[in-house]
Each structure stands twice: as C-alpha cells, then as structure tokens.
Amino acid sequence: MTDNYLLNIYKKFLKFPSGRKLFSWYSARRAPYFSTISPLITELRPDHCEVMIRKRKLLQNHIGTVHVIAICNGLEMAMGFMCEASIPKNLRWIPKGMEVKYPAKADTDIRCVAEVPNGAWKPGDLPVVVKAYDLKGNVVVEGTITIWVSEKRK
C-alpha cells in the first residue's frame, strides 16, 4: 500500500466486482455536486485521473450534445481526485481558476482527463492540464485549472 489515503481507498474498492463503480458512487456522495454527472472514475494514479461521463438526456443542451458545464464538472472532479492522489503530505491545494475552450461538439460519452508532470508539486501556482475526449478520441474541451499549492500549517 502507498501512504496516500485516497489511493489506498481506491485500491481497496478495486478488489470488489464493479469496484470502480462503487468507488465512484462513494466518492460522488462525499462531494454531492459531482453526483449530478454520475461519474465513473476509470483511472486514478499520482499525477493523473480519468473520469467518464455518459451522454444522457439530463446532461444534454438544446442541440443534443453534452453540455459544457457538465463536462467542466467532470474535468474539475478529475483534477480534484488527481490532486488528492498526488500531493505530498506537507502541502495543500485549492483551485484558483479554470480556462477552457470547446474545439468540437461533445456528441458521445465523454472521458475527462486531468494531469500534471511528475515532480510538479511545489508551493505556488500549478497549472493542471485538463482535456475531455469523445469516444473517437477527439478533444471536445481542453484547458487549464490553476490551483494554488501551499505548505500546510504546522
């Protein structure tokens, strides 16, 4: 086992059938707004997280594509879980802002990815690269979520 609490919980859930679904359900209930997108955390490791969002009527806009705010919710969830699974114990983080672009229509299920380079965790602004992909691998939303990283109080 690793010394990261979130990765330890994730690994425990993966031992069960449908462990990813159970972990995702459990996690979304702890941060209730995330449950609005019915996320599935498909990959979680240091510096990287992926969250799947199913295209369903509740998340669609007036043209029948997945609403960008739902996708941003998935990207923020991926960023948050990546941060919690990665940050050294002596540091803490908080989001400062999000900038995104929409290069293509989101007309399938969506895979939200957040990642930072290995060794990026130090005090100051940390840009987290976020991208959302359709099932064909096309980027439908891309951007950066800037987080503020600081030392924990002693």
Structural domains of the chain, ranges and CATH numbers in brackets: 5-151 (3.10.129.10)
**Cβ–Cβ under 8 Å, residues 51 and 72:** no
Has residue 1 got a pLDDT over 70? no
pLDDT digits (tens, 9 = 90+) for 128-150: 999 999 999 999 999 999 999 99
Regarding pTM above 0.85, the answer is yes
151: which 2 tokens?
Answer: 């030392």
